[in-house]
Chains A and B, each alone.
Chain A
Amino acid sequence: MSNQRFRVNTPTVTHETIDGEAVIINLDSGNYYSLVDVGSFVWGLIEKGASASELRNVVLQSYQGNDSDVDRGVEELLAQLQQENLIVPVDGTGALDLAQLELPSNNGHEKPAFNPPLLHKYSDMQELLLLDPIHDVDDAGWPKPNPDPAK
């Protein structure tokens, strides 16, 4: 796993995490996403500037799972998040401060089981953004009204 760090692709991407569920919106594409459980945990670590290898180590430390499952799960999620332009690679060398993290296993209970993180993608709002109403312009240069507004 590499030492590559990432950042959330703001301002194109806006996001909120509530009670361990992340809601992520790509304002350019019209897609939105949700992450729960391990996925939301990883998202929080990305926000804090963790590198890929730090992510993997913290997930291994926090969840019950074997190395190869965690490696694959984290790598696949990072690849998906990049593919959807939700995160972008950044330069940076500072180490993640583990003491500052709220780990799922910090509360004295047994470590939760590692389930491969899934990025849930929703494209049902795209039509609102991807209306291409500029069919033609009139003699003053204004776009002519869309004859079939999708509202």
Chain B
Amino acid sequence: MPTAPVDISLNEQSSRSVEYFQSVYDLFKSSQQVTGPVERNFRIGGYLIRLSFSGEALLSLTRALEHLAVDDHATPDLTICLWDSESTGQRMTPRPWQEDDFLARGVIQGYNTERIYTAFQHGSGAVSVLDKERNLAVFWAPDAKLPYWEYGSPIRTILHWWLLSQGLQLVHAAAVGNSTGGVLIGGKGGSGKSTTALACLESDLSYVGDDYTLLGLDSGPVVHSLYNSAKLNSDHVQRFPELLPKVANTERLVDEKALLFVHEHYPSKVATRLPVRAILLPRVTGLPETRWKRVSVAMALAALAPSTIFQLPRAGNEALKFLAAFARQLPCFSLEVGTDLSTIPPVIEELLAEIDSWEE
């Protein structure tokens, strides 16, 4: 008796991935017939992206993107359909894969091809699927009780996949700047990235993002704003007590980090795009003053690439090459972040002015 082949062919994988996408999309359409459509348009990295919801249950996911909202009803470059089962009463299709197929970073084995991207979001239970050929994606969640970080950086996986195919790389880095340009602030959680970005809210510097931003290389290195949300840990809350009344999720701070939507409180501070002049790697020193010193490009790459790649499904070689090409064009510095937070913005402004003088 013949045994079933262990490996399925690429064609079979391709067709079942397309079928899976279609089944999830069909369920979205059914759910939308029950609840009615709600649409919001955003310009992200220069691309018109439409979020099409089934009802309003997941609508607050847009708060982190509100600074990029546009009133543009042209044909979008990408449409992302969002629905949940609880509010719509529409059950999700049973997963067709086995438990062993849940790979690292939520990638679903056997349902990822050149065209179809599928990932499970551990922690929220959400499923993200993208059909790159149709510029169409679906985000499904069991209910709207998503973890705070999903509201802080919504539909991150889908945006990462699709924007990469447009030449934009999502990066785990903050960015601030002024009219001469911006600095990209890299490093893993706890390195001082958010502290540096938040310290600039009350300064002359603009805020681009403090956790995830979007990089482009078209006309030199540029950073695009992605989310206007800041995630504050207990240390930030102590260091920036003036931000506490602005926190969105005060009732859940026992279990969650504080979430602040910068655009709602500092609308004029958020810059949507800046040319990047330098990469900074913050390091908390315990000394009062903030200082900078030059470091190697490879050190900057080591700070940017792993913390980006290990958070994004299907990110790997392509992301490393992009970030290396980006970093190669820039001077890189260690930013020794002082305990006197008021020293941070003027030091960044001095650094930007100095780099500007090199280029004259």
Question: Which residues of A are in contact with B by a Cβ distance under 8 Å?
Answer: 10-11, 14-19, 21-23, 25, 27-28, 30, 32, 34, 122, 124-125, 128-129, 131, 133-134, 137, 140-146, 149, 151
Contacts and interface: CB of A to CB of B under 8 A. Distances in A.
A151 B149 contact: yes
A66 B336 CA distance: 40
A34 B310 contact: no
A149 B123 contact: yes
Given A28-B104, A133-B122, 7 more contacts: A18-B296, A18-B324, A23-B298, A128-B310, A131-B123, A141-B94, A143-B102
B302 A128 contact: no
B102 A140 contact: no
Nearest to B309: A25
Residue among A22, A131, A146, A149 with most chain B CB within 10 A: A149
A145 B92 contact: no
Contacts of B299: 21
A143 B105 contact: no
Contacts of B99: 134, 137
Contact of A141 (B95, B297, B298, B317): B95
Given A14-B320, A18-B296, A149-B147, A25 B305 contact: yes
Nearest to B142: A142
Contacts of B124: 145, 149
A143 B123 CA distance: 9
Contacts of B309: 14, 25, 27
Contact of A140 (B91, B104, B123, B316): B91
Nearest to A13: B317
Residue among A14, A137, A143, A151 with most chain B CB within 10 A: A151
Contacts of A124: 188
A21 B188 CA distance: 20
Nearest to A35: B298
Contact of A18 (B94, B188, B298, B316): B298
A68 B328 CA distance: 37
A141 B97 CA distance: 10
A11 B321 CA distance: 13
A132 B205 CA distance: 40
Contacts of A32: 302, 305-306
Contact of B316 (A14, A22, A125): A14
A11 B296 CA distance: 26
Contacts of B104: 28, 129
B301 interface: yes
B342 interface: no
Contact of B298 (A34, A131, A137, A142): A34
Contacts of A142: 92, 95, 125, 142
Contacts of A21: 296-299
B222 interface: no
Nearest to B301: A23
Interface in B293-336: 296-299, 301-302, 305-307, 309-311, 316-317, 320-321, 324, 327-328
B111 interface: no
Contacts of B311: 128
A11 B327 contact: no
23 contacts: A10-B317, A14-B309, A14-B316, A16-B320, A16-B324, A18-B301, A18-B324, A18-B327, A19-B298, A21-B297, A25-B320, A27-B309, A128-B311, A133-B122, A140-B95, A141-B94, A141-B95, A142-B95, A143-B102, A143-B125, A145-B142, A149-B147, A151-B123
A18 B302 CA distance: 11
Contacts of A30: 310
B94 A23 contact: no
Contacts of A145: 123-125, 142, 147
A149 B122 contact: yes
B307 to A, nearest CB: 6
A26 to B, nearest CB: 10
A16 B321 contact: yes
A123 B235 CA distance: 24
Contacts of B297: 18-19, 21
Contacts of B305: 16, 23, 25, 32
A130 to B, nearest CB: 8
Residue among B102, B149, B316 with most chain A CB within 10 A: B316
Given A32-B302, A34-B298, A149 B324 contact: no
